Amino acid sequence: MADVNRGDRPLSPHLSIYRPMYTMILSITHRITGVGLSLGLVLVTWWFLTLAIGEKYFAFADAVLTSVFGGLILIASLWALMFHLCNGIRHLFWDAGYGFELQTAWRSGLAVIACSIILTILIVAISLGGS
């Protein structure tokens, strides 16, 4: 029952207590890529809107997105998307109750990094080959 000591309860250890590990970096990167991707989606949505409303607008949007600077942003967004996709699948397995063993979590983390890079390179290659 709720007759509790409110003053000097022990705090659970927080982030700064632990030695940094790459699984922690992956965890925060999932969130950062998620927020960043909503900005990347603004660019893609703008591109689709110009495609719907007229050639003049499309020419400008397409030129911006295929410029060197726009291209770098798109490649960064693409990697962020592939990372978020792969790590999202890893999260879905956790949600279903699988893959919590330390070794498994480390290995799946490495697999996410590798897959996100391979998929990014593959799609950039498709894009350059196609146009």
CB of 107 to another protein, least distance (A): 20
Alpha carbons 98 and 91: distance in angstroms, whole number: 9
**Quick one: 75 or 113, whose CB is closer to another protein?**
75
CB of 23 to another protein, least distance (A): 19
Alpha carbons 107 and 23: distance in angstroms, whole number: 10
Contact 86, 114 (CB under 8 A): no
Residues that bind another protein (CB under 8 A): 1-4, 31, 34-35, 37-38, 41-42, 44-45, 47-49, 51-53, 55, 58-59, 62, 65-66, 74, 78, 81, 85, 88-89, 91-92, 95, 123-124, 126-127, 130-131
CB of 114 to another protein, least distance (A): 17
CB of 57 to another protein, least distance (A): 10
- For the purposes of burial, counting CB atoms within 10 Å of the CB of 86, is it exposed (0-12), middle (13-18) or buried (19 or more)? buried
**Quick one: 45 or 104, whose CB is closer to another protein?**
45
Contacts by residues 32-35 (CB-CB < 8 Å, ≥ 24 positions apart) = 33/80, 33/81, 33/83, 33/84, 34/84
